[in-house]
Amino acid sequence: MGRRKIEMKMVTDRSCRQVTFSKRRTGLFKKANELATLCAVQIAIIVFSPGGKPFSFGNPGVEPVVGRFLNRGDEHHDGQQRPQRLPRDSGGRRRRNQELKLGVSFFPPKYKLFQLG
Amino acid sequence: MGRRKIEMKMVTDRSCRQVTFSKRRTGLFKKANELATLCAVQIAIIVFSPGGKPFSFGNPGVEPVVGRFLNRGDEHHDGQQRPQRLPRDSGGRRRRNQELKLGVSFFPPKYKLFQLG
DNA sequence: TTCGCTATGTATAAGTA
DNA sequence: TTACTTATACATAGCGA
């Protein structure tokens, strides 16, 4: 999406990598904001810069969304459709391939979030 | 980015909204994957569909990134499209570097992840 | 770091199946 | 839900400050 097409490999130059990170992080958060607005959905993004600095975006906030995700087994879906249980058989292979391709997980988490204090 | 420009407000038609969600979620995860690859960074995205179904992307995984984020204490940057400047300047950076080196946090965590099962 | 520029590469709205 | 097409709108690489 620029003057030239770039390879999908790590940008070797530290400075260029940081610039690329900043630009693309901005673009990603903007897209996330659009998705939340257009579709009225909850979303959270957490990303650490090459320097280890944390950035996040959340609608309505990071922690509510993370909490809902991690605890979704116990969740009460008022007025909303419950997430369908995924079939183990048909379509499994294709879903698996899609997971590997996009890094998406359709499987339940193994962790739970607790607030301290 | 299509035949027509669309307004940045909720898509009223349920069916169209779901289609828009699916397309844009795919695009967002692809962008996230590119960011992770190009910049070699950790990233996690959690999003609930209009129907309440959870989708996630994580490099190297959702839980590790979420855990790292939640245990950073007061250094959250929630819900902002643009990163805020860190409250502390060079001294803070030095301390952060020391934190990263030692693998410890000087800030108390607000949440904790517990492994299930 | 961030800002502006702009030629190009990409994502996607609408339509159709 | 997803798949394909195509015209457009948009994101961004590379560069200079």
- CB of A101 lies under 7 Å from some atom of strand C: no
Q: Report residues 24-53 of A contacting strand D, contact meaning Cβ closer than 7 Å.
A: 24, 26-28, 30-31
Q: Which range of residues forms the domain containing residue B93? A: 14-105
- What H or E segment, with its residue span, contains residue A85? none
Band of residue B106 on the pLDDT scale cut at 50, 70, 90: very low
Domain membership of residue A45 (yes or no) is yes
Question: What average pLDDT does range B88-92 have in this prediction?
Answer: 37
Q: How far is A87 from chain B (nearest CA, A)?
A: 14
Concatenating the DSSP letter of every residue in B46-73 gives EEE-TTS-EEEEEES-HHHHHHHHHTTT
pTM: 0.77
Q: Which residue is nearest to nucleotide C13 (CA to C1')?
A: B2
- CB of B85 lies under 7 Å from some atom of strand C: no
- CB contact (8 A) between residue A104 and residue B54: no
- Domain count of the fold of chain B: 1
Q: If you compute the radius of gyration of chain A from its CA atoms, what whole number of angstroms results?
A: 18
Q: What is the distance in angstroms measured between the alpha-carbon CA of A89 and the sugar C1' of C2?
A: 51
Q: What is the pLDDT of residues A73-100, one digit of tens each?
A: 654 443 334 444 433 333 344 555 554 4
Domain membership of residue B18 (yes or no) is yes
Residue B14 in tokens:
């349920």
Domain membership of residue A67 (yes or no) is yes
Q: Tokens 């992840």 — which residue?
A: B113
Domain membership of residue B52 (yes or no) is yes
Q: Which parts of chain A have pLDDT scores under 50?
A: 75-93, 99-103, 106-107
Q: Tokens 């999908």 — which residue?
A: A8
Domain membership of residue B50 (yes or no) is yes
Domain membership of residue A9 (yes or no) is no
Domain membership of residue B47 (yes or no) is yes
Domain membership of residue B117 (yes or no) is no
| CATH code, domain with B35 | 3.40.1810.10
Which residue in A has a C-alpha nearest to residue B14's C-alpha?
A39
Q: What is the pLDDT of residues B27-49, one digit of tens each?
A: 999 999 999 999 999 999 999 99
Amino acid at A105: S
